Amino acid sequence: MIRHIAMFTWSDEATTSQIGHFAAGLSSMPNQIGTIRRYEHGDDLDLSPGTADYVLVADFDSVEGYRQYADHPIHLEFIEASVKPIVASISRVQMHIAT
């Protein structure tokens, strides 16, 4: 199984409305992209300094399943419309997890 983690830091110009639209878009992904097995996301709790603003954790059965998600037209459109306009930086990692 593959776990994908993405941490987002908002730009200074990001609005509450844009962030809400971003979150709604993420919530719609599992219903639109069949290779997603688990998909969780949410705001940072701001419990320590230096953290990102938002996190996504997604699980896939295989590397191929992850790649199908990453290259899916719905995902790519979401990045262009809802991620790039409001994100200052993104950190990503993919790792194997035990099943």
Cα–Cα nearest to 92, from 74, 81, 69: 69
CATH class of 2-96: alpha beta
Task: Evaluate whether 79 touches 33 at the Cβ level (below 8 Å).
Answer: no
DSSP assignment of 66-95 equals HHHHHH-HHHHHHIIIIITTTEEEEEEEEE
Q: What is the pTM of this model?
A: 0.93
In a 13 Å sphere around the CA of 73, the CA atoms on its Cβ side amount to 0
| pLDDT tens digit sequence for 35-74 | 999 999 999 999 999 999 999 999 999 999 999 999 999 9
Q: Measured between alpha carbons, how far apart are the two ends of the chain, in Å?
A: 7
Length of the chain: 99
Domain assignments of the chain as residue spans, ordered by start? 2-96
